[in-house]
Amino acid sequence: MDIKPIKNKFKELFSENPLLVRSPGRINLIGEHTDYNDGFVFPAAIDKEICFAVAKNNIGKFRFYAFNLNEGFELEVDKLAKTETLWANYLLGVAAQYKKAGYQIKGVDCVFGGDIPMGAGLSSSAAIENGFAFALKEIFGFEVSKMDMIKMAQKAEHEYVGVMCGIMDQFASMNGKENNAIKLDCRSLNFEYANIILSDYVIVLCDTKVKHELASSEYNARRKECEAGVKILQKHNREITALRDVDIELLQKYKIEFEPIVYKRCEYVVKENRRVEKAFASLQQNDMKTFGELMYLSHEGLRDEYEVSCSELDLLFTLARKSGYVIGARMMGGGFGGCTINLVKREKLEDFYETIKTGYLQTTGVETEMHIVKIASGTGFSNEY
């Protein structure tokens, strides 16, 4: 994204030379609903981002401007608390985490805006939190690590936004590396990069343009079902603390003790963790065909075993798979709406667009929105800086 309009707006409002920062959204290539089961995920930062122009003002005030909303906000630093202005809470929550850690903030001016599609599950919130955390570190000279900032950003979302998110979004946005995905162990937070050579393929996101109300209640239900499965297995092995510790053979051994629905949920998570590991291995061998097949299997598991898909996501998946233009596709995110992620043959991109748009509109009466994304580096200074 061109940061110049953000920079120019800052100078218009505050007449200072700001620090310029960019912070990306993220995709998750495979590994859905594994994070809260202490498992593995496989995200990557993307070239859709939030840009910031930030400077300290030393007048004891937060002065923020949301460029995309054309909306300003002001609050005295010593009155730092959640507010009715929801977008400002993402920034204030980060400042509050620095304050909790004993760092002093005397006043900040900030203009931010970006091109991350809203509601598409690309973690614009994590990008905002990470970018502001990085900016505060730089303008005040705070000595904090990347991991410190990731955890502050996550806690900001928990405490000021009210979303009890896992750590994947902030982690991927902060630690992204160009042309690399990140295999993240959600228990230890150890991670490895995997180079993705996409020469013949393009990553395309297809947005259902829907979000069903089931999402949050069903998310909580899935967590409870997974926990119920763990409790059953703990009777046989006390070292099991999460589905991460279980293989399919062990699960099958005690299947008779499970409610059928709980078994289905656990089976999906155990299989998905193995798929992430296989996906990582396939990228190391530059085997995109196997990687794509694992994406298909992931969607089928989310649809049939974990049951967090919806008719719109399934339609996009089916249209993509039957098109002949795609080597891998699946729903991405918590489910019940949002996007599918597709590995599309580069020379068939226009044909893919036409097939998906026409098929989705005919069935749903809704126009899908499509986004090509490239894998980018994580939160840091803007190239303009």
Annotated catalytic sites, by residue?
Answer: 169
- Taking every pair of Cα atoms in the chain, the longest distance, rounded to a whole number of angstroms, is 70
Which of 114, 115, 155 has its CA nearest to residue 133? 155
What residues have CB less than 8 Å from 244, skipping those under 6 apart? 34, 37, 38, 39, 40, 186, 187, 273
Give CA–CA dist 6/18, Å, rounded.
10
Match 């279980």 to its residue by tokens.
246
Give the helix ranges, DSSP H, for the chain. 4-14, 86-100, 124-140, 146-156, 168-175, 214-234, 248-253, 260-284, 288-304, 311-323, 349-364
Give CA–CA dist 126/297, Å, rounded.
28
Which of 253, 295, 238, 245 has its CA nearest to residue 272? 295
- Other CB atoms within a 10 A radius of the CB of residue 145 amount to 9
Token code pair at residue 318: 């089916």
Phi, psi of 108 (to 5 degrees): -140, 135
Judge contact between 146 and 109, C-beta under 8 A.
Answer: no
Give the DSSP letter of residue 159.
I
Give CA–CA dist 94/154, Å, rounded.
9
What residues have CB less than 8 Å from 338, skipping those under 6 apart? 119, 120, 121, 207, 208, 211, 313, 331, 332
Residue 94, class by beta-carbon neighbours within 10 Å (0-12 exposed, 13-18 middle, 19+ buried)? buried
Token code pair at residue 308: 């967090």
